[in-house]
Structure 1
C-alpha cells in the first residue's frame, strides 16, 4: 500500500488547505493535531448528546468540518479543551496520519495495547507510524512528552504492543488476557477485555494497515464478542503474518494484505455492526459508503 495516499477515512476533502499552514516538522504537526481532539472519557469533561456523538466522526473531513464550524480558525490556533472535537486515540492518530500524507510523508495507524495508562492493565490504543526514509518510527501523538519516561515521538519496543503480538502471546499462554482491553471491570454487562477483545483488535490492526481506519466500535466479518465458535486459526494466521511483516518479511506483507482483500471474513465490505459508546443497545447495522 502507498501510505502517502489518503484513504477514504483520512482524506481531508474540502478542508485539505488547512494542512498547508501546519509546521513541516513531525513534533510540530503532532502538537497541533493533539490540540484538536479531546478524549471522550479521559479528557476531564463529561460529554453527552450531540457532543458525545462526535466520537462517531469516521472521516477526517467530518472532524475538520466540526472543528471549523465551532472554531473557524487555522488549526495551529489553540483550542480550549471544551471547544475541541470529541474523539479518542483513533482520531488523534488519524488526523496526524492525514496531515503527514498531505505533506507526502508515508504514515499509517497501528492498533494494539498500551501499558502506560494504568498500572496492571493494558488499554486498547491506536498510535501512528511514519517512514523517515530508513525505518518506520512509532509516535503517540496523544501524549505530552513531559508526562512519560520514554520517547513518545520515537517509541521503543515495549510500552505499546500491536494487537497481533498480544494475541500470539495470549494464545501461547504467556500473558493474562483479562489485563488487555478497554475496561478492566469484571462486573460490567459486557466484559470489555479478554481473549475475544484481543482477537477483534487483530482484525482492526489488519484493516487499518490496509487503509480502512475504522472506528473501534465498527464490527464486521469474523469479529465476535466470544471465542467459542470463532475462527481462531484464521486470527492466528494473520497475526503471525503481521508480526513477520513488522520484522521485514516482504512475502508475509504481501500475503496478509492479499488475505485482507480476498477473504470475506477479513475484508471490510462497507457494512458495520455499530456499537458506539454514544449509543445504547440495541446496537444496529450501518452502511458506510
Structure 2
C-alpha cells in the first residue's frame, strides 16, 4: 500500500462529525462485519419518508421532522427512544427512524467504518426511480479490498422497494451508469452527452441543482455528509443562470470529485481553504426555509 493510499483509507475509516456514533458506539460491537449483513441491519432501523405508505405507516407531523436529524449519534438516540432493543433487532416499520437516502447512507458508512472498512457517502443522481430521469440520491461507497476497487451500495433498496422498482442490478454493487455521482452528471452535461433538465428532483432540475450536489459531494468526501436540502457557500440559487466564472468553478470541482483518490490532497486543501465549499457553522435548510445550526 502506498503512503497516499494508506492516508486515504485511514481518512475514510475514521468516524467524522456526521458518522460518529458517540456514546452509542458500543452498540456496533455485536453487529456483523460483512457489507450485506450491515445493509440488512440498516434496513431494519430506518424508514424512508417518501416510502412510508408502502410499509403501511402514516407519518405524524412529529415523525416528519426526523429526516432533519444530521449526525448519526442523534439519529441513533431518536431510534432508541422508539425501540431500545439492540441494533441487530429489525424494528417494525412504524418503530423505525424516519429518514431518506442520505440517512441510510450515513448509517451504513458509520457501521462500515466501525468495522474497519473504508467507506464514504456519495451524492449524485439515480436513474432507477423514474424513467428517463436521474433523481437526486445518495449511496455509500466502500473499499472492496479483495477486488481492489470502490463499490457503490444502495442501502435503501430493500425487498419492498426492489419489488416496486424491479432494478436490473445488485444493490450491493450499483453500476456507475445507474448511480451517477454529481461530478459525472455535470461533466456529461457539459460535454453534451446528457441533458441537465433530466437531473434533479420533482420539478427542480438543471445545472443549478447539479452544482449543489457537487458541493454536497465534495463535503461528503471531506467527511461532512449534509442533508440533501442543506444549502451554503457556492451553490447556485434555484434556476440561477451560469456564466463563464461559475461554469469554470464547477468544471474544476467536478473534476476533483470524479476522481477523489487521485485528487485527494487537492480536494482536502480546496475544501478547507475555500468558503464556497466548506460547511459553515450554520447552513440554510431549504425545506424548513430557515437557517439551521450544523
| TM norm structure 1 | 0.89
Q: In the TM superposition, what are the counterparts of 1:91-106 in structure 2 within 5 Å?
A: 91-106=103-118
2:30 counterpart residue number: 21
Q: In the TM superposition, what are the counterparts of 1:39-188 in structure 2 within 5 Å?
A: 39-44=48-53, 45-133=57-145, 134-144=148-158, 147=163, 148-183=167-202, 185=203
Following TM superposition, by how much is the alpha carbon of 1:91 offset from its aligned partner in structure 2, in angstroms? 0.2
How far, CA to CA, are the matches of 2:127 and 2:208 in structure 1?
19
> Counterpart of 1:110 in 2: which secondary structure?
strand
CA shift digits 1:70-123 (9 cap, x unpaired): 101011212111111110000001001001111111110011100011111211
Task: Return 254-263 or 39-48, whichever deviates more.
Answer: 39-48
Report the CA distance shift for 1:155/1:229 in structure 2 as closer, same or farther (over 3 A).
closer
Following TM superposition, by how much is the alpha carbon of 1:217 offset from its aligned partner in structure 2, in angstroms? 1.2
Partners of 2:33 and 2:112 within 8 A in 1: no
Partners of 1:40 and 1:46 within 8 A in 2: no
2:277 counterpart residue number: 266
Following TM superposition, by how much is the alpha carbon of 1:42 offset from its aligned partner in structure 2, in angstroms? 2.2
> Counterpart of 1:43 in 2: which secondary structure?
helix
Which residue among 212, 227, 239 is the counterpart of 1:200? 212
CA shift digits 1:115-134 (9 cap, x unpaired): 01111121111101111222
RMSD value over aligned CA atoms? 1.6
Which residue among 241, 246, 259 is the counterpart of 1:228? 241
Unaligned runs of 5+ in 1: 186-191
> Counterpart of 1:21 in 2: which secondary structure?
coil
Partners of 1:112 and 1:201 within 8 A in 2: yes
Following TM superposition, by how much is the alpha carbon of 1:286 offset from its aligned partner in structure 2, in angstroms? 2.1
Unaligned runs of 5+ in 2: 1-7
Report the CA distance shift for 1:104/1:76 in structure 2 as closer, same or farther (over 3 A).
same
Following TM superposition, by how much is the alpha carbon of 1:271 offset from its aligned partner in structure 2, in angstroms? 1.6
| TM norm structure 2 | 0.88
Residue 268 of structure 2 is aligned to residue 286 of structure 1 = no
Following TM superposition, by how much is the alpha carbon of 1:46 offset from its aligned partner in structure 2, in angstroms? 4.2
Matched pairs, number: 272
Task: Return 78-87 or 46-55, whichever deviates more.
Answer: 46-55
Residue 43 of structure 2 is aligned to residue 37 of structure 1 = no
> Counterpart of 1:98 in 2: which secondary structure?
helix
> Counterpart of 2:170 in 1: which secondary structure?
coil
